[in-house]
Structure 1
Amino acid sequence: MLLWINGPFGGGKTQTAHELLRRLPGSVLCDPEHVGFGLHRMTPPALRGDFQDLPAWRQGVYEVLDLALTGHAGPVIVPMTVVEAPYFRETVGRLRERGHDVRHFTLLATRETVLRRLRERGFGHAVRLVAGKDAPLRRESFALSRLDLCLERLREEEFAQHVWTDRLTVAQVADHIAAACALTLAPNTDGPLRGRLRRAWTGARHIRFD
Protein backbone atom coordinates (compact mmCIF):
# COMPACT_ATOMS: atom_id res chain seq x y z
CA MET A 1 0.00 0.00 0.00
CA LEU A 2 1.21 3.50 -0.85
CA LEU A 3 0.19 6.45 1.33
CA TRP A 4 0.64 9.62 -0.73
CA ILE A 5 0.47 12.70 1.53
CA ASN A 6 -0.28 15.78 -0.56
CA GLY A 7 -0.93 19.34 0.53
CA PRO A 8 0.40 22.91 0.26
CA PHE A 9 3.99 23.66 1.17
CA GLY A 10 3.98 24.12 4.93
CA GLY A 11 0.80 22.09 5.28
CA GLY A 12 2.32 19.36 7.45
CA LYS A 13 3.12 16.63 4.90
CA THR A 14 6.63 15.89 6.11
CA GLN A 15 5.71 15.90 9.79
CA THR A 16 2.72 13.64 9.15
CA ALA A 17 4.78 11.28 6.99
CA HIS A 18 7.43 10.91 9.69
CA GLU A 19 4.77 10.39 12.36
CA LEU A 20 3.32 7.57 10.27
CA LEU A 21 6.80 6.13 9.70
CA ARG A 22 7.51 6.21 13.44
CA ARG A 23 4.30 4.49 14.44
CA LEU A 24 3.58 2.18 11.50
CA PRO A 25 5.62 -1.04 11.74
CA GLY A 26 7.24 -2.17 8.50
CA SER A 27 6.73 1.14 6.72
CA VAL A 28 9.30 3.03 4.65
CA LEU A 29 9.40 6.64 3.49
CA CYS A 30 10.18 7.46 -0.16
CA ASP A 31 10.56 11.20 -0.81
CA PRO A 32 10.15 12.23 -4.47
CA GLU A 33 11.88 15.54 -3.73
CA HIS A 34 15.21 13.70 -3.77
CA VAL A 35 14.67 12.87 -7.44
CA GLY A 36 13.98 16.55 -8.10
CA PHE A 37 17.00 17.74 -6.12
CA GLY A 38 19.24 15.42 -8.10
CA LEU A 39 17.88 16.74 -11.39
CA HIS A 40 18.41 20.32 -10.19
CA ARG A 41 22.02 19.64 -9.28
CA MET A 42 22.61 18.30 -12.79
CA THR A 43 21.11 21.45 -14.33
CA PRO A 44 22.91 24.81 -14.68
CA PRO A 45 21.43 27.23 -12.11
CA ALA A 46 20.10 29.60 -14.77
CA LEU A 47 18.06 26.77 -16.29
CA ARG A 48 16.50 25.48 -13.09
CA GLY A 49 12.74 25.78 -12.70
CA ASP A 50 10.12 23.62 -11.04
CA PHE A 51 11.57 20.13 -11.29
CA GLN A 52 8.07 18.66 -11.56
CA ASP A 53 7.90 20.16 -15.05
CA LEU A 54 10.62 17.74 -16.14
CA PRO A 55 9.25 14.50 -17.63
CA ALA A 56 12.31 12.79 -16.13
CA TRP A 57 11.05 13.64 -12.63
CA ARG A 58 7.62 12.18 -13.20
CA GLN A 59 8.99 9.05 -14.87
CA GLY A 60 11.65 8.61 -12.20
CA VAL A 61 9.14 8.94 -9.36
CA TYR A 62 6.84 6.42 -11.02
CA GLU A 63 9.63 3.90 -11.58
CA VAL A 64 11.11 4.15 -8.07
CA LEU A 65 7.72 3.91 -6.36
CA ASP A 66 6.72 1.01 -8.59
CA LEU A 67 9.93 -0.74 -7.54
CA ALA A 68 9.35 0.02 -3.86
CA LEU A 69 5.77 -1.18 -3.93
CA THR A 70 6.70 -4.34 -5.79
CA GLY A 71 9.67 -5.25 -3.62
CA HIS A 72 8.72 -3.98 -0.16
CA ALA A 73 6.10 -5.80 1.88
CA GLY A 74 5.08 -2.92 4.13
CA PRO A 75 3.43 0.46 3.54
CA VAL A 76 5.29 3.03 1.44
CA ILE A 77 4.83 6.64 2.62
CA VAL A 78 5.25 9.48 0.13
CA PRO A 79 5.10 13.16 1.20
CA MET A 80 4.84 15.29 -1.94
CA THR A 81 2.93 18.35 -3.14
CA VAL A 82 1.45 17.82 -6.61
CA VAL A 83 -1.12 20.34 -7.83
CA GLU A 84 -0.97 19.83 -11.60
CA ALA A 85 -3.64 17.29 -12.58
CA PRO A 86 -1.64 15.86 -15.55
CA TYR A 87 1.39 15.32 -13.30
CA PHE A 88 -0.84 13.70 -10.69
CA ARG A 89 -2.13 11.25 -13.29
CA GLU A 90 1.40 10.49 -14.51
CA THR A 91 2.45 9.48 -10.99
CA VAL A 92 -0.46 8.49 -8.75
CA GLY A 93 -2.67 7.56 -11.70
CA ARG A 94 -0.09 5.33 -13.38
CA LEU A 95 0.71 3.56 -10.14
CA ARG A 96 -2.97 2.76 -9.70
CA GLU A 97 -3.21 1.57 -13.30
CA ARG A 98 -0.24 -0.69 -12.57
CA GLY A 99 -2.40 -2.37 -9.92
CA HIS A 100 -0.91 -0.82 -6.78
CA ASP A 101 -3.09 0.10 -3.81
CA VAL A 102 -2.53 3.87 -3.64
CA ARG A 103 -4.27 5.87 -0.92
CA HIS A 104 -4.05 9.62 -1.51
CA PHE A 105 -4.67 12.27 1.14
CA THR A 106 -4.51 16.04 0.80
CA LEU A 107 -3.81 17.96 4.01
CA LEU A 108 -5.61 21.30 3.87
CA ALA A 109 -5.74 24.29 6.19
CA THR A 110 -6.68 27.94 6.00
CA ARG A 111 -4.19 30.35 4.48
CA GLU A 112 -3.54 31.87 7.90
CA THR A 113 -2.73 28.47 9.40
CA VAL A 114 -0.32 27.57 6.60
CA LEU A 115 1.44 30.95 6.89
CA ARG A 116 1.89 30.40 10.62
CA ARG A 117 3.33 26.95 10.02
CA LEU A 118 5.73 28.29 7.41
CA ARG A 119 7.01 30.82 9.94
CA GLU A 120 7.46 28.13 12.55
CA ARG A 121 9.29 25.57 10.46
CA GLY A 122 13.02 25.51 9.79
CA PHE A 123 14.66 28.82 10.70
CA GLY A 124 11.34 30.61 11.09
CA HIS A 125 11.73 31.23 14.82
CA ALA A 126 15.25 32.57 14.42
CA VAL A 127 14.18 34.89 11.61
CA ARG A 128 11.39 36.30 13.77
CA LEU A 129 13.72 36.86 16.72
CA VAL A 130 16.27 38.72 14.62
CA ALA A 131 14.07 40.59 12.15
CA GLY A 132 10.68 40.78 13.84
CA LYS A 133 7.51 38.76 13.61
CA ASP A 134 6.55 40.25 10.23
CA ALA A 135 9.90 39.59 8.58
CA PRO A 136 9.68 38.22 5.01
CA LEU A 137 9.97 34.46 4.81
CA ARG A 138 12.88 34.52 2.37
CA ARG A 139 13.65 30.83 2.79
CA GLU A 140 10.01 30.08 2.11
CA SER A 141 9.64 32.31 -0.94
CA PHE A 142 8.83 29.42 -3.26
CA ALA A 143 6.26 28.06 -0.83
CA LEU A 144 4.65 31.49 -0.50
CA SER A 145 4.60 32.04 -4.25
CA ARG A 146 2.67 28.79 -4.71
CA LEU A 147 0.43 28.97 -1.65
CA ASP A 148 -2.74 30.38 -3.20
CA LEU A 149 -2.46 28.11 -6.23
CA CYS A 150 -2.00 25.08 -3.97
CA LEU A 151 -4.96 25.94 -1.77
CA GLU A 152 -7.19 26.47 -4.80
CA ARG A 153 -6.15 23.43 -6.84
CA LEU A 154 -5.97 20.95 -4.01
CA ARG A 155 -9.59 21.54 -3.04
CA GLU A 156 -10.63 19.91 -6.33
CA GLU A 157 -12.23 16.48 -6.17
CA GLU A 158 -9.37 14.84 -8.08
CA PHE A 159 -7.13 15.48 -5.08
CA ALA A 160 -9.41 13.87 -2.48
CA GLN A 161 -9.46 12.59 0.15
CA HIS A 162 -9.18 15.92 1.94
CA VAL A 163 -8.16 16.26 5.57
CA TRP A 164 -8.60 19.67 7.20
CA THR A 165 -5.83 20.01 9.76
CA ASP A 166 -6.28 23.45 11.32
CA ARG A 167 -7.43 22.01 14.65
CA LEU A 168 -5.62 18.67 14.50
CA THR A 169 -2.23 17.74 15.87
CA VAL A 170 0.26 15.87 13.71
CA ALA A 171 -0.48 12.70 15.68
CA GLN A 172 -4.23 13.14 15.11
CA VAL A 173 -3.73 13.59 11.37
CA ALA A 174 -1.68 10.39 11.28
CA ASP A 175 -4.39 8.61 13.27
CA HIS A 176 -7.02 9.77 10.78
CA ILE A 177 -5.04 8.55 7.77
CA ALA A 178 -4.29 5.19 9.37
CA ALA A 179 -7.94 4.66 10.31
CA ALA A 180 -9.05 5.51 6.76
CA CYS A 181 -6.67 2.81 5.46
CA ALA A 182 -7.51 0.23 8.15
CA LEU A 183 -3.92 0.38 9.40
CA THR A 184 -2.96 0.06 13.05
CA LEU A 185 -0.48 2.56 14.44
CA ALA A 186 1.60 2.05 17.54
CA PRO A 187 0.35 4.21 20.43
CA ASN A 188 1.57 7.78 20.51
CA THR A 189 3.54 8.00 23.74
CA ASP A 190 4.98 11.49 23.17
CA GLY A 191 4.22 14.15 25.73
CA PRO A 192 3.88 17.81 24.63
CA LEU A 193 7.58 18.63 25.09
CA ARG A 194 8.88 15.46 23.45
CA GLY A 195 6.46 15.94 20.56
CA ARG A 196 7.68 19.51 19.98
CA LEU A 197 11.31 18.42 20.09
CA ARG A 198 10.64 15.59 17.67
CA ARG A 199 8.88 17.91 15.21
CA ALA A 200 11.67 20.49 15.52
CA TRP A 201 14.28 17.84 14.77
CA THR A 202 12.29 16.59 11.77
CA GLY A 203 12.02 20.15 10.47
CA ALA A 204 15.73 20.84 10.99
CA ARG A 205 16.67 17.68 9.08
CA HIS A 206 14.75 18.92 6.06
CA ILE A 207 16.26 22.41 5.85
CA ARG A 208 17.96 22.91 2.50
CA PHE A 209 20.81 25.33 1.81
CA ASP A 210 21.08 24.94 -1.98
Structure 2
Amino acid sequence: MLLWINGPFGGGKTQTAHEIQRRLPGSVICDPEHAGFGLHRMLPPALRGDFQDLVSWRRGVVEVLDLALSKHDGVVIAPMTVTDSGYFTETVGRLREMGHDIRHFALLAERETVLERLRGRGFGHLLQYVAGKDAPLRRESWAVQQLDHCLERLREPEFAEHLWTDHSTVPKTADRIAVLAGLTLLPNGEGALRNRLRQVRVELKHIRFD
Protein backbone atom coordinates (compact mmCIF):
# COMPACT_ATOMS: atom_id res chain seq x y z
CA MET A 1 0.00 0.00 0.00
CA LEU A 2 1.09 3.55 -0.79
CA LEU A 3 -0.05 6.41 1.41
CA TRP A 4 0.28 9.56 -0.69
CA ILE A 5 -0.06 12.50 1.68
CA ASN A 6 -0.90 15.65 -0.26
CA GLY A 7 -1.57 19.15 1.04
CA PRO A 8 -0.40 22.76 0.81
CA PHE A 9 3.18 23.66 1.65
CA GLY A 10 3.27 23.97 5.42
CA GLY A 11 0.17 21.83 5.78
CA GLY A 12 1.80 19.08 7.82
CA LYS A 13 2.53 16.41 5.19
CA THR A 14 6.08 15.63 6.27
CA GLN A 15 5.32 15.64 9.99
CA THR A 16 2.33 13.34 9.46
CA ALA A 17 4.37 11.00 7.27
CA HIS A 18 7.08 10.70 9.92
CA GLU A 19 4.48 10.13 12.64
CA ILE A 20 2.94 7.27 10.67
CA GLN A 21 6.34 5.78 9.87
CA ARG A 22 7.33 5.94 13.55
CA ARG A 23 4.22 4.07 14.67
CA LEU A 24 3.77 1.64 11.77
CA PRO A 25 6.40 -1.11 11.86
CA GLY A 26 7.83 -1.97 8.46
CA SER A 27 6.71 1.27 6.82
CA VAL A 28 9.11 3.52 4.93
CA ILE A 29 9.03 7.10 3.67
CA CYS A 30 9.87 7.59 -0.01
CA ASP A 31 9.84 11.35 -0.48
CA PRO A 32 9.38 12.44 -4.13
CA GLU A 33 10.71 15.87 -3.20
CA HIS A 34 14.22 14.50 -2.90
CA ALA A 35 14.22 13.53 -6.57
CA GLY A 36 13.05 17.02 -7.46
CA PHE A 37 15.79 18.72 -5.46
CA GLY A 38 18.37 16.48 -7.12
CA LEU A 39 17.15 17.51 -10.55
CA HIS A 40 17.24 21.17 -9.48
CA ARG A 41 20.86 20.87 -8.40
CA MET A 42 21.77 19.52 -11.84
CA LEU A 43 20.54 22.74 -13.46
CA PRO A 44 21.96 26.27 -13.45
CA PRO A 45 19.96 28.43 -11.01
CA ALA A 46 18.43 30.45 -13.84
CA LEU A 47 16.84 27.29 -15.27
CA ARG A 48 15.34 26.04 -12.03
CA GLY A 49 11.58 26.29 -12.17
CA ASP A 50 9.02 23.95 -10.67
CA PHE A 51 10.66 20.53 -10.82
CA GLN A 52 7.24 18.93 -11.24
CA ASP A 53 7.23 20.40 -14.75
CA LEU A 54 10.06 18.04 -15.64
CA VAL A 55 8.87 14.83 -17.28
CA SER A 56 11.92 13.14 -15.76
CA TRP A 57 10.62 13.91 -12.27
CA ARG A 58 7.15 12.52 -12.91
CA ARG A 59 8.40 9.39 -14.61
CA GLY A 60 11.15 8.90 -12.07
CA VAL A 61 8.74 9.15 -9.14
CA VAL A 62 6.52 6.49 -10.69
CA GLU A 63 9.49 4.22 -11.39
CA VAL A 64 10.94 4.50 -7.89
CA LEU A 65 7.62 4.14 -6.08
CA ASP A 66 6.70 1.17 -8.28
CA LEU A 67 9.97 -0.48 -7.29
CA ALA A 68 9.44 0.26 -3.59
CA LEU A 69 5.87 -1.01 -3.67
CA SER A 70 6.85 -4.15 -5.58
CA LYS A 71 9.89 -5.09 -3.50
CA HIS A 72 9.34 -3.65 -0.01
CA ASP A 73 7.26 -5.71 2.39
CA GLY A 74 5.51 -2.85 4.12
CA VAL A 75 3.58 0.35 3.65
CA VAL A 76 5.25 3.08 1.58
CA ILE A 77 4.55 6.73 2.50
CA ALA A 78 4.99 9.59 0.02
CA PRO A 79 4.51 13.13 1.37
CA MET A 80 4.20 15.35 -1.68
CA THR A 81 2.17 18.36 -2.81
CA VAL A 82 0.65 17.83 -6.25
CA THR A 83 -2.09 20.21 -7.40
CA ASP A 84 -1.89 19.90 -11.18
CA SER A 85 -4.53 17.40 -12.30
CA GLY A 86 -2.43 16.23 -15.23
CA TYR A 87 0.63 15.63 -13.07
CA PHE A 88 -1.58 13.91 -10.51
CA THR A 89 -2.80 11.53 -13.19
CA GLU A 90 0.77 10.89 -14.36
CA THR A 91 1.94 9.95 -10.86
CA VAL A 92 -0.81 8.79 -8.52
CA GLY A 93 -3.07 7.77 -11.38
CA ARG A 94 -0.32 5.86 -13.17
CA LEU A 95 0.58 3.92 -10.03
CA ARG A 96 -3.06 2.94 -9.64
CA GLU A 97 -3.15 1.79 -13.26
CA MET A 98 -0.15 -0.41 -12.51
CA GLY A 99 -2.25 -2.23 -9.92
CA HIS A 100 -0.88 -0.73 -6.71
CA ASP A 101 -3.09 -0.03 -3.70
CA ILE A 102 -2.89 3.76 -3.49
CA ARG A 103 -4.53 5.70 -0.66
CA HIS A 104 -4.44 9.43 -1.28
CA PHE A 105 -5.11 12.02 1.43
CA ALA A 106 -5.13 15.81 1.07
CA LEU A 107 -4.47 17.60 4.34
CA LEU A 108 -6.42 20.84 4.30
CA ALA A 109 -6.71 23.77 6.69
CA GLU A 110 -7.92 27.34 6.66
CA ARG A 111 -5.51 29.87 5.21
CA GLU A 112 -4.69 31.46 8.57
CA THR A 113 -3.95 28.05 10.08
CA VAL A 114 -1.39 27.27 7.38
CA LEU A 115 0.16 30.73 7.66
CA GLU A 116 0.56 30.25 11.40
CA ARG A 117 2.27 26.92 10.81
CA LEU A 118 4.60 28.47 8.25
CA ARG A 119 5.53 31.22 10.73
CA GLY A 120 6.47 28.50 13.20
CA ARG A 121 8.83 26.76 10.81
CA GLY A 122 12.52 27.32 10.42
CA PHE A 123 13.24 28.71 13.90
CA GLY A 124 13.08 32.27 12.50
CA HIS A 125 15.50 34.36 14.52
CA LEU A 126 18.01 31.56 15.13
CA LEU A 127 18.38 30.74 11.45
CA GLN A 128 18.45 34.43 10.53
CA TYR A 129 21.46 34.79 12.79
CA VAL A 130 23.24 31.68 11.48
CA ALA A 131 22.45 31.87 7.76
CA GLY A 132 21.55 35.49 7.07
CA LYS A 133 18.36 37.44 7.39
CA ASP A 134 16.70 36.02 4.25
CA ALA A 135 17.58 32.34 4.75
CA PRO A 136 14.60 31.06 6.76
CA LEU A 137 12.03 32.86 4.64
CA ARG A 138 12.92 31.68 1.17
CA ARG A 139 10.88 28.53 1.12
CA GLU A 140 8.18 29.97 3.37
CA SER A 141 7.76 33.00 1.10
CA TRP A 142 7.34 30.73 -1.90
CA ALA A 143 4.92 28.58 0.07
CA VAL A 144 2.81 31.64 0.93
CA GLN A 145 2.71 32.62 -2.74
CA GLN A 146 1.40 29.16 -3.62
CA LEU A 147 -0.99 28.83 -0.69
CA ASP A 148 -4.24 30.12 -2.15
CA HIS A 149 -3.77 28.14 -5.33
CA CYS A 150 -2.98 24.96 -3.39
CA LEU A 151 -5.98 25.28 -1.10
CA GLU A 152 -8.32 25.98 -4.00
CA ARG A 153 -7.09 23.11 -6.16
CA LEU A 154 -6.86 20.53 -3.39
CA ARG A 155 -10.49 21.08 -2.42
CA GLU A 156 -11.52 19.59 -5.77
CA PRO A 157 -13.12 16.11 -5.68
CA GLU A 158 -10.27 14.55 -7.68
CA PHE A 159 -7.93 15.20 -4.75
CA ALA A 160 -10.03 13.38 -2.16
CA GLU A 161 -9.80 12.06 0.44
CA HIS A 162 -9.85 15.42 2.24
CA LEU A 163 -8.81 15.74 5.88
CA TRP A 164 -9.26 19.08 7.65
CA THR A 165 -6.51 19.58 10.21
CA ASP A 166 -7.17 23.01 11.75
CA HIS A 167 -8.03 21.50 15.12
CA SER A 168 -6.03 18.28 14.84
CA THR A 169 -2.57 17.44 16.14
CA VAL A 170 -0.07 15.53 14.04
CA PRO A 171 -0.63 12.26 15.99
CA LYS A 172 -4.40 12.61 15.62
CA THR A 173 -4.12 13.24 11.89
CA ALA A 174 -1.92 10.15 11.58
CA ASP A 175 -4.54 8.16 13.50
CA ARG A 176 -7.28 9.33 11.13
CA ILE A 177 -5.30 8.34 8.06
CA ALA A 178 -4.57 4.93 9.53
CA VAL A 179 -8.24 4.26 10.28
CA LEU A 180 -9.30 5.32 6.79
CA ALA A 181 -6.59 3.15 5.22
CA GLY A 182 -7.41 0.14 7.40
CA LEU A 183 -4.06 0.24 9.19
CA THR A 184 -3.24 -0.09 12.88
CA LEU A 185 -0.67 2.24 14.36
CA LEU A 186 1.17 1.64 17.59
CA PRO A 187 -0.19 3.80 20.43
CA ASN A 188 1.36 7.24 20.62
CA GLY A 189 2.00 7.00 24.35
CA GLU A 190 3.95 10.26 24.54
CA GLY A 191 3.08 13.68 25.87
CA ALA A 192 2.82 16.95 24.02
CA LEU A 193 6.39 18.00 24.88
CA ARG A 194 8.03 14.84 23.51
CA ASN A 195 5.83 15.01 20.42
CA ARG A 196 6.89 18.61 19.82
CA LEU A 197 10.58 17.86 20.32
CA ARG A 198 10.35 15.06 17.79
CA GLN A 199 8.62 17.37 15.33
CA VAL A 200 11.41 19.92 15.82
CA ARG A 201 13.96 17.25 14.87
CA VAL A 202 12.00 16.51 11.71
CA GLU A 203 11.93 20.24 10.88
CA LEU A 204 15.69 20.52 11.37
CA LYS A 205 16.34 17.55 9.09
CA HIS A 206 14.33 19.17 6.31
CA ILE A 207 15.84 22.66 6.38
CA ARG A 208 17.41 23.56 3.02
CA PHE A 209 19.57 26.52 2.09
CA ASP A 210 19.54 26.11 -1.71
Shorter-chain TM-score: what band? over 0.9
Equivalent AA in structure 2 for residue 56 of structure 1? S
Distance 1:61 1:76 in 2: 13
Distance 1:185 1:174 in 2: 8
Could you say which residue in structure 2 is the equivalent of 1:119?
119
State how 1:6-155 maps to structure 2 within 5 Å. 6-124=6-124, 126=126, 137-155=137-155
- Seen in structure 2, the aligned counterparts of structure 1 residues 171 and 97 have a Cα distance that, compared at 3 Å, is same
Shift of 1:137: 3.8
Shift of 1:124: 3.4
Where 1:104 maps in the other structure, the secondary structure is: strand
- Seen in structure 2, the aligned counterparts of structure 1 residues 89 and 22 have a Cα distance that, compared at 3 Å, is same
Equivalent AA in structure 2 for residue 100 of structure 1? H
Structure 2 residues without counterparts, runs of 5 or longer: 130-135
Distance 1:139 1:177 in 2: 27
1:148-188 CA distance string (max 9 Å, x none):
00000000000000000000000000000000011000000
Shift of 1:125: 5.9
Shift of 1:126: 4.1
Shift of 1:71: 0.3
Equivalent AA in structure 2 for residue 65 of structure 1? L
Where 1:198 maps in the other structure, the secondary structure is: helix
1:184 matched to 2:184? The reply is: yes
Distance 2:137 2:38 in 1: 25
Shift of 1:145: 1.1
Distance 1:78 1:66 in 2: 12
Normalization by structure 2: what TM-score?
A: 0.94
Could you say which residue in structure 2 is the equivalent of 1:133?
none
Distance 1:190 1:59 in 2: 39
Equivalent AA in structure 1 for residue 5 of structure 2? I
Distance 1:81 1:55 in 2: 16
Normalization by structure 1: what TM-score?
A: 0.94
Shift of 1:190: 1.4
Q: How many residues align?
A: 204
- Are the counterparts in 2 of residues 119 and 137 from structure 1 also a CA contact under 8 Å? no
Equivalent AA in structure 2 for residue 23 of structure 1? R
1:39-84 CA distance string (max 9 Å, x none):
0011111111000000000000000000000001100000000000
State how 1:185-204 maps to structure 2 within 5 Å. 185-204=185-204
- RMSD over aligned CA atoms reads 1.5
- Are the counterparts in 2 of residues 119 and 125 from structure 1 also a CA contact under 8 Å? no
- Are the counterparts in 2 of residues 83 and 153 from structure 1 also a CA contact under 8 Å? yes
1:172 matched to 2:183? The reply is: no
Shift of 1:127: 7.0
Could you say which residue in structure 2 is the equivalent of 1:208?
208
Identity %: 71
Shift of 1:139: 3.9
